[in-house]
Amino acid sequence: MKFIQSDHWQPKGIDELEPNAWQALSRRESTSVIAGPGAGKTEFLAQKAAYLLETGLCPPNQKILAISFKTDAAKNLADRVKERCPEELSNRFVSMTFDAFTKNLVDRFRMALPERHRPSKRYEISFPTFRQEKSLISSFRNNFGNAVGIYNIRQRLQNMNQFIGSVRIGDSGLLWLEEEFLDFWLSQQINYADGISRVSFLALNRLAECIVRTNDHVHRSIRASYPIVFVDEFQDTTFAQYDFLSSVFKSSEVEVTVVGDYKQRIMAWAGAKGDAFHQFEADFSAQRHSLLLNHRSSPELVRIQHVIARAIDHEVREVQTSNNNLISGDAAWICCSYNVNQEAAHLAHWIANDMQGRSLNPRNYSILVRQKPEDYEQQLSHYLAQHGLSLRNESVKIGQATLQDLLAEELTILFSTLLKLGLGHRNAQAWNQLSADVRLLRNTTKEDEKALRQVERQLALFISELKDLMRQSFRPDNSRLVFERIIAFIDLNDLRKTFSRYATGDLLEINLAALEEFFTNCVDTQNSWTGLLDEFEGTNHIPLMTIHKSKGLEFDTTIFMGIDDNAWWSYRPGDSEGLSTFFVALSRAKQRAIFSYCQQRGQRTKIADFYALLSAAGVQEYVIPPSVVV
């Protein structure tokens, strides 16, 4: 393949990069990129990947490792690289979540762990609750009595994630009690009477760190395979994740580029490290670059965002936007209602009118809430249905996965593309992507023309058989057959061999079970293949999700419900994480942000800050007349 000269390379799929982005892109040492919402941080990583791959600066025997926090974010980044680079280059871009990466290391090299710290071959992932953590700490205290008071252990255990992230398994520098706690905490996850360990992602992280640090062969081979590493949403890096990164890549030739926005730091409760950028810049001798444009939101929304941004950081610089205001009237307002029916009726009516007036579709809107989306679902669905619209809770659990994560899985995407083509959709892009994926699954190389032609023939034959089968009927027994045939065609063994995250452990089984459950639910509620596909993809549903799940996404209009003391029960005035959460929600909108306050849901005393900031930004408040209730 012919490489492009680095000074001739041009960005792909976008017009231009701002000057600071160009500097950060061409820098061949560790770099941090800090920028506000919509500045194009994820896009920057995709462009940098294209630059390094297309110019040969990342040579054919090496790969780029990109680490994200959420499955859909990892997928989104991989897709952007696929769109911008030929397949033989984008195949060398490995995009994974932190959790998938560390789990994969433990699954592959668990025998390198000391026996007492080694999870069973087949283990389950556990998600310890706050209460379970507290009870573990109190049993430890019971065992070690007054000793827990020494070395500040009692106090340090109040932030478990920070404590665990700062102690390394088998480190000779550990204090006696630190080592005791680490052993106690691990043994509670590893030793079960039935022989099956229940291990949390935090424990997998510490085990992976131990493997890499103590096994020179593994350590060297990771650094050699991935001389270039990207980390997206770096502000959310936990203590343990940072420690893992530095253990693996610090003091090496590896170029690490991290991007993020400290104003969007909303994972401190899950152990995010407050000073991650500063520490990274010091530890990796990284140079900082700031981006100063917003490519997402309209000028009016950017102005409002800046008022909130300043409350988080007084020194934040004003950003410019390259977008226009596409709507007439206000870009943001607060609507106040007395009760939940009035609120839902008003919002449903407004969405239906706006959607029709501006020829938008349901997925241009999103309903964002702080917590418990199910508390908002019923009323809003009821009133939306009166306008022929529907809502989908994207945070809902399907088996052991959430719907949003399930939809971002490679398995699900292959499945739904096959379903779409089986239904007779003529979609050249879907076909090209699918045939590229199937070539990858069957491990064919571009040079082996015979094998390529065979794969293409098999795919065409399968689609034609699928079309015949789907034409027959849409009865449950037939749809079951369609499900089984598609899964058999994908071939789980090939999937395992192709995607390293599925290679070991039970992630594929978990997702397959969730996919089957979701598919069956769709079959049960629909009476045609077209209806099923729309239901599967959520085409006609307005998404409802938590703010945490909305990170990295964007919508024309966001409607933010439940801005009251009950939903924000943990908020204390001036709490920067609360303000950042509010900021993340506001910054998802491209053109319009609506804030809905409902008196019946709670007071607005504790969170008066939010309303004061909106008022300072000139956002008007309207009271919905009681007559709106239907």
Ligand X SMILES: Nc1ncnc2c1ncn2[C@@H]1O[C@H](COP(=O)(O)OP(=O)(O)OP(=O)(O)O)[C@@H](O)[C@H]1O
Taken in order 559, 564, 569, 575, the sign of the CA dihedral is: positive
Q: Which of 92, 296, 420, 549 binds ligand X (CB under 6 A)?
A: 296
Q: Is 41 annotated as a binding residue?
A: yes
Host H or E run for residue 122: none
Give the 3-state secondary structure of residue 370: coil
Residue 41 found at the interface with ligand X (CB under 6 A):
yes
Q: Which of 219, 250, 288, 295 binds ligand X (CB under 6 A)?
A: 295
- Among positions 579-598, residues that touch ligand X (CB under 6 A) are 587
Site map for ligand X, 366-395, x if CB under 6 A? ------------------------------
Give the 3-state secondary structure of residue 577: helix
Lookup result for tokens 């003091």: 251
Residue 290 or 400: which CB sits closer to ligand X?
Answer: 290
Residue 96 found at the interface with ligand X (CB under 6 A):
no
Instruction: Give the whole-angstrom CA distance, residue 553 versus residue 547.
Output: 10
Q: Take residue 343 and report the two structure tokens written for it.
A: 């609120």
Q: Which among 210, 526, 536 is positioned nearest to 398, based on CA atoms?
A: 536
Q: Which of 9, 30, 34, 37 binds ligand X (CB under 6 A)?
A: 37
Residue 75 found at the interface with ligand X (CB under 6 A):
no
Q: What angle do CA 554, 557, 563 make, to 5 degrees?
A: 95
Residue 12 or 118: which CB sits closer to ligand X?
Answer: 12
> Of 38-46, 156-164, 370-378, 469-477, which segment contacts ligand X by CB under 6 A?
38-46
Please report, as a single letter, which amino acid is at residue 25.
Answer: L
> Of 37-45, 195-203, 311-319, 526-534, which segment contacts ligand X by CB under 6 A?
37-45
Residue 69 or 415: which CB sits closer to ligand X?
Answer: 69
Q: Is 422 annotated as a binding residue?
A: no
Q: Is 257 annotated as a binding residue?
A: no
Residue 42 found at the interface with ligand X (CB under 6 A):
yes
Q: Is 38 annotated as a binding residue?
A: yes
Residue 17 found at the interface with ligand X (CB under 6 A):
yes
Site map for ligand X, 125-164, x if CB under 6 A? ----------------------------------------
Q: How far is residue 577 from each of residues 269, 278, 323, 572, 583, measured CA to CA in Å? A: 9, 18, 28, 10, 10
Q: Which of 24, 34, 39, 157 binds ligand X (CB under 6 A)?
A: 39
How far out from the chain centre does Cα 23 lie? Answer: 27
- Among positions 228-267, residues that touch ligand X (CB under 6 A) are 261, 264
With beta carbons less than 8 A apart as the criterion, state whether 352 and 362 touch. no
Binding residues for ligand X, rule CB under 6 A, total 18
Residue 43 found at the interface with ligand X (CB under 6 A):
yes
Give one DSSP letter per residue of 240-304, joined into a string.
HHHHHHHHHHTTSS-EEEEEE-GGG---GGGTB-TTHHHHHHHHTTPEEEEE-EESSS-HHHHHH
Q: Which of 4, 12, 14, 491 binds ligand X (CB under 6 A)?
A: 14
Q: Is 39 annotated as a binding residue?
A: yes
The CB-of-476 to ligand X minimum distance in angstroms stands at 40
Instruction: Give the whole-angstrom CA distance, residue 41 versus residue 226.
Output: 21
Q: Which among 395, 368, 397 is positioned nearest to 380, based on CA atoms?
A: 368
Provide the 10 A C-beta neighbour count for residue 456.
14
Instruction: Give the whole-angstrom CA distance, residue 66 versus residue 317.
Output: 28
Q: Take residue 116 and report the two structure tokens written for it.
A: 């007492």
Residue 360 found at the interface with ligand X (CB under 6 A):
no
**Binding stretches for ligand X (CB under 6 A):** 14-15, 17, 35, 37-43, 261, 264, 295-296, 552, 554, 587
